[in-house]
């Protein structure tokens, strides 16, 4: 830990910087204080990556998924801003040395510590994999040591960096000694690649040397492909045999993370009275804690600590989650009976997922069990505020309720009273229909409810060859569902557009996509399907495409360089299209004719969201941190209709009667939902 220099900013986002923790290929890492007074490790992306569009797109996607990772051995992602000039991500701070530091300074670990290390790493990988992520760069320097167990950091970052300026200029991301053979060849990379890296980290802890010895990258990669790892430092017995299988060249011969847990959970562990770490490592942790206290003591006091919205006196999300994590970790390290570790006492993955062997018609509440969100995940009653990113706000048909979808919540609110009335498990994509159906996409499957979260009517995709769903759209009668999927069922596959017949629960059509979608919706009558993409990696184009829902024929296409977005009118006859944040078109869906909206008053702002009044006569823009009033257009003429003081964010929802608009205000990393009356655009309700 090093003090801040004159070149370091006093704060990043809402977080005040206290000290430098380190730097690397990705950028700098700081110790920071959050708005509610807790500590976090804040990683700021270096400048050349910040200018790489491909990295930004992937980083945003990985952060979105990483925020769903919840477990005692994975520090939570508590805040992030992929759109900042220098993108950043903040995680819980763990005041301990890395495994690399510990072994280099105090030597190899004893057998008992190796067992707990292996179990903790397996539990971390199980949590990461259950969220749809792979680590891709698990190594001793990405493993922090704490009394509650090993803590795996930087999961998902390697995926964001692949193919960026770092790798294109010959700088590899990752450590050759811990890279799996399939990562070297680039073929068939699955979560089992992380298991190979786990085995290498345990070998390092046992003997102080990488699994294939020291040497240059080329020589080491050759050994990874052809040589056997050095297992001699591992104690003879079940652990050595298991690590040997983890290091198998053929991934199909390796156990997965859950299998490792099952195999080792019954073995004796070190006495709870002495902890799991060697004494010298515990002293290192004490030293790190001392450095932290010094940084806190030297904290700049010229800027008052902003508690942020909803933070005064209440129990914050972080504080509540810390109690959950500490209790889970303490339970995990208690010896039962003959010394077996009670790993079943740990929390499950991000959600209790549907049984992968069950059919899509699994009844809610049956033996398969209804999914429940992770503790502290939803951001409603548990947290007292909305954390993370906000994606959509959708009014119910009668206008009495507001559906809120973000990285920390998927919930329904009585917006007048500011009270939550329903809550759904977290998702990557969600669609609320006026008729009361809800569809969500969560990587391997899609779930559909009718009338509320207590009535799930379908689980799709579990037994199909396709997968990695991250988008869902339903027709109003819920007869058809559309989703973006992967053509090979993995995150590396090419994107495709699927449509499902809800009665038979079967895929009825598949179309290739030119890029990854960020928005998908049916017109109200279900006759057309509209999707919008972003431009991944700065190559090719972004698009908004209108398809004939029955035939799959492309009816209209609107292209840009960076991104596209759209909003449909209530009768489905028109839509507004946003291209490259600076061009807004009104589209007649009957013939594809367009009218340009006047953008002369945009100034320095960019438009990130568009919305339409129900009759299509008024179009609204949403900006990020607007420096001027929101642009509102009369769509018949394209002229700006001035509304003094109206500021709408990049999240907008319009009620079916056109009388109310919902938007968000984000301060200090937390979001508040505001509802405005369209007669005078005054705020009539606010909740968080």
Helix (H, G, I), strand (E, B) or coil at 119: helix
CA 380 to CA 405: how far, in whole Å?
11
The answer to whether 424 touches 416, Cβ cutoff 8 Å, is no
- The set of catalytic residues is 137
Phi and psi based region of residue 185 (left: phi greater than 0; alpha: psi -120 to 50; beta: remaining): alpha
229/264 Cα distance (integer angstroms) = 21
Length of the chain: 688
CA 29, 30, 34, 38 torsion-angle sign: positive
- Give the containing element (helix H, strand E) for 261: helix 257-264
Distance CA 257, CA 267 (A): 16
3-state secondary structure of 287: helix
Question: How far is residue 579 CA from its own chain's centroid?
Answer: 25
Burial class (CB in 10 A: 0-12, 13-18, 19+), 131: buried
Secondary structure of residue 268 in the 3-state scheme: coil
CA distances from 121 to 12, 40, 305, 312, 670 (A): 31, 21, 36, 37, 31
Q: Which two tokens stand for residue 441?
A: 């996409």
466 and 496 in contact (C-beta within 8 Å)?
Answer: yes
Helix, strand, coil abundance in the chain, percent, nearest 5: 25, 30, 45
Cα 87 to Cα 47, 51, 55, 166, 651: the distances in Å are: 9, 10, 10, 16, 20
Judge contact between 575 and 596, C-beta under 8 A.
no
* CA neighbor of 311 nearest in space, from 36, 686, 16: 36
Across the strands, what pairs with 639?
634
- DSSP code of residue 451: S
CA–CA dist 610, 661 (Å, integer) = 12
Integer CA distances (angstroms), 134 to 65, 249, 389, 436, in order: 11, 18, 22, 35
Nearest to 665 by CA among 423, 365, 393: 393
Give the C-alpha distances (Å, rounded to integers) separating 174 from 27, 60, 214, 408, 520. Answer: 14, 20, 15, 30, 35
């Amino acid at each position: 830990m090093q003090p801040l220099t004159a070149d370091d900013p006093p704060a990043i986002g809402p977080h005040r910087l206290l000290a430098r923790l380190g730097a690397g290929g990705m950028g700098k890492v700081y110790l920071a204080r959050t708005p509610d007074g807790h500590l976090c490790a804040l990683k700021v992306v270096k400048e050349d990556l910040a200018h790489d569009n491909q990295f930004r797109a992937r980083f945003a996607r990985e952060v979105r998924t990483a925020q769903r990772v919840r477990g005692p051995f994975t520090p939570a992602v508590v805040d992030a801003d992929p759109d900042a000039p220098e993108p950043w991500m903040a995680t819980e701070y763990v005041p301990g040395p890395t495994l690399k530091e510990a072994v280099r300074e105090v030597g190899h670990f004893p057998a008992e510590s190796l067992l707990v290390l292996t179990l903790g790493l397996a539990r971390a990988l199980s949590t990461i994999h259950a969220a749809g992520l792979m680590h891709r760069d698990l190594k001793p320097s990405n493993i922090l040591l704490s009394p509650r167990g090993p803590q795996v950091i930087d999961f998902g970052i390697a995926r964001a960096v692949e193919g960026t300026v770092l790798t294109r200029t010959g700088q590899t991301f990752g450590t050759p000694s811990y890279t799996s053979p399939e990562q070297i060849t680039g073929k068939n990379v699955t979560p089992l690649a992380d298991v190979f890296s786990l085995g290498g980290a345990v070998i390092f802890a046992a003997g102080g040397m990488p699994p294939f010895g020291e040497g240059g990258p080329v020589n080491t990669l050759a050994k990874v492909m052809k040589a056997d790892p050095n297992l001699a430092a591992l104690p003879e017995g079940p652990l050595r045999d298991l690590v040997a299988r983890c290091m198998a060249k053929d991934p199909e011969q390796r156990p997965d993370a859950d299998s490792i847990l099952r195999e080792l959970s019954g073995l004796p562990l070190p006495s709870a009275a002495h902890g799991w770490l060697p004494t010298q490592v515990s002293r290192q942790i004490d030293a790190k804690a001392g450095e932290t206290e010094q940084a806190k003591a030297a904290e700049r006091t010229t800027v008052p600590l902003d508690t942020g919205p909803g933070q005064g006196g209440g129990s914050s999300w972080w504080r509540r989650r810390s109690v959950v994590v500490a209790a889970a970790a303490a339970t995990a390290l208690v010896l039962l009976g003959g010394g077996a570790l009670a790993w079943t006492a740990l929390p499950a993955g991000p959600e209790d997922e549907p049984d992968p062997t069950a059919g899509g018609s699994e009844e809610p509440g049956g033996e398969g069990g209804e999914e429940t969100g992770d503790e502290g995940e939803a951001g409603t009653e548990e947290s007292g505020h909305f954390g993370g990113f906000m994606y959509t706000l959708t009014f119910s048909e009668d206008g009495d309720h507001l559906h809120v979808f973000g990285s920390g919540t998927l919930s329904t609110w009585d917006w007048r009273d500011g009270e939550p009335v329903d809550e759904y498990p977290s998702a990557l994509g969600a669609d609320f229909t006026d008729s009361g159906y809800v569809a969500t996409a969560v990587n391997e499957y899609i779930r559909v409810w009718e009338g509320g979260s207590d009535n799930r009517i379908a689980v799709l995709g579990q037994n199909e060859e396709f997968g990695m769903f991250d988008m869902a759209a339903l027709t109003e009668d819920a007869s058809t569902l559309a989703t973006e999927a992967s053509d090979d069922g993995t995150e590396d596959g090419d994107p495709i557009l699927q449509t499902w017949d809800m009665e038979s629960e079967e895929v009825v059509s598949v179309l290739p996509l030119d890029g990854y979608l960020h928005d998908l919706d049916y017109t109200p009558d279900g006759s057309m399907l509209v999707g919008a993409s972003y431009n991944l990696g700065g190559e090719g184009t972004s698009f908004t495409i209108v398809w004939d829902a029955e035939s799959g024929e492309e009816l209209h296409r609107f292209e840009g360089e960076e991104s596209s977005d759209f909003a449909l009118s209530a009768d489905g006859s028109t839509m507004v299209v946003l291209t490259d944040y600076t061009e807004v078109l009104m589209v007649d869906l009957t013939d594809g004719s367009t009218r340009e909206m006047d953008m002369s008053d945009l100034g320095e702002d960019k438009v990130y969201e568009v919305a339409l009044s129900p009759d299509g006569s008024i179009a609204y823009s949403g900006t990020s941190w607007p420096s001027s009033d929101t642009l509102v257009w009369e769509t018949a003429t394209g002229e700006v209709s001035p509304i003094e003081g109206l500021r709408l964010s990049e999240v907008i929802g319009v009620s079916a009667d056109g009388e109310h608009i919902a938007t968000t205000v984000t301060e200090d990393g937390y979001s508040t939902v505001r509802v405005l009356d369209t007669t005078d655009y005054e705020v009539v309700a606010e909740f968080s």
